[in-house]
Amino acid sequence: MVVYKLHYFEGLGGRVEAVRIILAYGNIPYEQVDIPDHDWPKAKSNYPNGQLPVLEEDGKMLTQSMAIARYFAGKLNLLGRNDWEAAQADAFIGTIEDAIATLKTSNLIQKLILGHGNDQTALEAADALRPFLERLEKHLLTTNGENLVGNHLTWADLAIADLYKRFSITIPHLLDGFPEVKKFTNHVYNLPGVKEYVAKRHIKNF
């Protein structure tokens, strides 16, 4: 039996959470290897590229959160039903890094991750994310409201919904004015496996 080990910083959701959501939906067991912040300087050299997250499988290591997420999405037939749908799903996945990069430009993402932000931080982050939410809202109005690609679940649904759901926890009222996005994220968070995982997870801030 294959044993999956997911290495990431202790207590953080961050970039690896999309992977955990996919694993939860697929009921795929794994071992969480938590790296405390104070151990990271010494542990860093043990990992390819000196980065986390890392998936370990039978002694092999895979880096990059979305590569790991895509790997498991493939096992669960969540990439899309044809090449075009797979490409569309990949395009939505690409907006995750775009959104995070937007927050990085003013160091907002670091404040959210570490919990060092305040009301002004939340307002600035909400303003920065508004264009992404506006586009997502507009797109969802052209779909069944529950799926980004076609009329069935893809890994893009799981990853995008988780991103904005976690952002909305850290940034109060983020989804106000975006009813379709709110409905979409709630739908994904109520999927079997996901609902149970979210109810018991313990992560710091974003």
Q: What is the pLDDT of residues 45-75, one digit of tens each?
A: 999 999 999 999 999 999 999 999 999 999 9
pLDDT exceeds cutoff 70 at 11: yes
Consecutive H or E run containing 6: strand 4-9
Tens digit of pLDDT for each residue in 129-169? 999 999 999 999 999 999 999 999 999 999 999 999 998 88
Tens digit of pLDDT for each residue in 104-140? 776 676 666 655 656 777 788 899 999 999 999 999 9
pLDDT exceeds cutoff 90 at 23: yes
β-bridge mates for residue 62, sequence order = 55
Q: Which CATH architecture has domain 4-76+194-200?
A: 3-Layer(aba) Sandwich (3.40)
pLDDT exceeds cutoff 70 at 185: yes
Count of Cβ atoms closer than 10 Å to residue 111 Cβ: 20
What residue type is 185 in one-letter code? T
CATH number of 83-189: 1.20.1050.10
Tens digit of pLDDT for each residue in 75-112? 999 999 999 999 999 999 999 999 988 887 766 766 66
Q: Which long-range contacts (CB under 8 A, 24 or more apart) does 8-12 make?
A: 8/32, 8/33, 8/34, 8/35, 8/52, 8/53, 8/54, 9/34, 9/35, 9/36, 9/37, 9/40, 9/52, 10/34, 10/35, 10/36, 10/37, 11/202, 11/203, 11/204, 12/113, 12/203, 12/204
Q: What are phi and psi of 32, to 5 degrees?
A: -90, 120
0.95 surpassed by pTM: no
Domain segments of the chain as ranges: 4-76+194-200, 83-189
